[in-house]
Amino acid sequence: MINKNSVIYIAGHKGMVGSAIWRTLEAKGYKNLIGVSSKDLDLREQEAVRDFLQETKPDVIIDAAAKVGGILANNDFPYQFLMENMQIQNNLISEAHYLGVNKFIFLGSSCIYPKLAAQPLKEAYLLTAPLESTNEWYALAKITGVKLCQAIRNQFDRDYVSLMPTNLYGSYDNFDLKSSHVLPAMIRKFHEAKENNNASVKLWGTGSPMREFLFVEDMAEAVVFALENKLPEYLYNVGTGEDLTIKELAQTIQKIVGHTGEIIWDDSKPDGTPRKLMDVSKMHNIGWKHQVNLEQGIQTTYSWFLENVENLKEKVY
C-alpha cells in the first residue's frame, strides 16, 4: 500500500510536469520524494539507472522524463526524439521490473493516437492507423513505453499504468521559440511583440486546427490519483474534454498578455493534425476531473513567465 512515507522517485523532477508532481505530492504530505538531475544521472545509460534504483529502492516510480519539443524540433531531430526517449523509458521500466518495483506511472502524450482518428480520441484507437508525420518519432517512442508497461502488467500482474495527457502548459514550461509547443511559444511571441511597440505577430498555419490544453497542476493531480488508487486498466487519457481553435487560443493569449498589434497567419507553414480532442470519460468515470479553466491557467503561466523571463535559456539539442 502506498502511504505518505513511501519512497517515490520522480524521473524528470525538474521539468514542467515533474516539478508540478513534486510540488503536489509535497503539499499532500508525502515525505520521501527522490529526484536527481540529468547531470548526475543519465537515464539513457542502463547500468547507471540500475545502480541508482538499487541504491534508492523506490516503492514507486513516476516517469515524467522525456525529450520533448514542438513540430520544428521533431522534424529537425528525429533520431534523438526516437532513440533517446526509448532509452530513457525502457531503462526505467525494465530496471523497475527487474528490481521488483510494483507501481510505475508512465506519462506519454496524445500524439500516440492516429492523425485522422475519430474525435474525441479514445484509448481504443491506439495503433489503428498512421501517426501524424510531424511528431511520429516522439509518438513511436511513447507507444513502446505504453506497450511495455502493458506487457509487464499483463504478464507479471504489476501495477504499471500509462497516463496520456493532452497538450500541457504551465509554470516551468519551455518558452524557446525553436523547440517549444504552441501555447508557450505564443506567450513569448505576444509578450516580445508587446514590448516592441505592439509589433505584429506571425503565427504558423491557418489557425483552424483545434486543440485541447490542460494546466500542468491538473496533470499532477491526475498522477496523484493514479498513485493513490489501483486503476483497473493500463491506459488512460488525461485532459479537459474541451477544445478550441488555434486562432481562438491566440486571441485568448493576446488578450491576457495585453498585445494590441496584428496577428498574421503564415499558411505556408503546416497546421499539423486537424483536431486533437481527448475522450477523458474513463478518468471521469473512476473519479478524476480537471479543475483549472484555460484562461485562469494561461494567466498563471504568463505571470510565471514574467517573473522568470530574464533567466529563460535557449534549448540546445
- The annotated binding site for NADP(+) is made up of 12-18, 107-110, 142, 165-168, 181
SS3 259: coil
Contacts of 147 (CB under 8 A, 6+ apart): none
Q: Which residues are annotated as a binding site for substrate?
A: 189, 204, 211, 271
Contacts of 285 (CB under 8 A, 6+ apart): none
Cα–Cα dist 76/103, whole Å: 35
For residue 239, give the C-alpha cell: 485532459
Stretch (H or E) spanning 211: strand 210-211
Q: What does the DSSP assignment read for 66-96? A: -----HHHHHH-HHHHHHHHHHHHHHHHHHH
Q: Which residues are annotated as a binding site?
A: 12-18, 107-110, 142, 165-168, 181, 189, 204, 211, 271
Cα–Cα dist 277/119, whole Å: 6
How far is CA 25 from its chain centroid?
18
Please check whether residue 129 is in contact with residue 116, taking contact to mean a CB–CB distance below 8 angstroms.
Answer: yes
Please check whether residue 267 is in contact with residue 190, taking contact to mean a CB–CB distance below 8 angstroms.
Answer: no
Is 160 a catalytic site residue? no
SS3 126: coil
> Of residues 9, 138, 169, 234, which has the active-site annotation?
138
Write out the catalytic residue numbers. 138
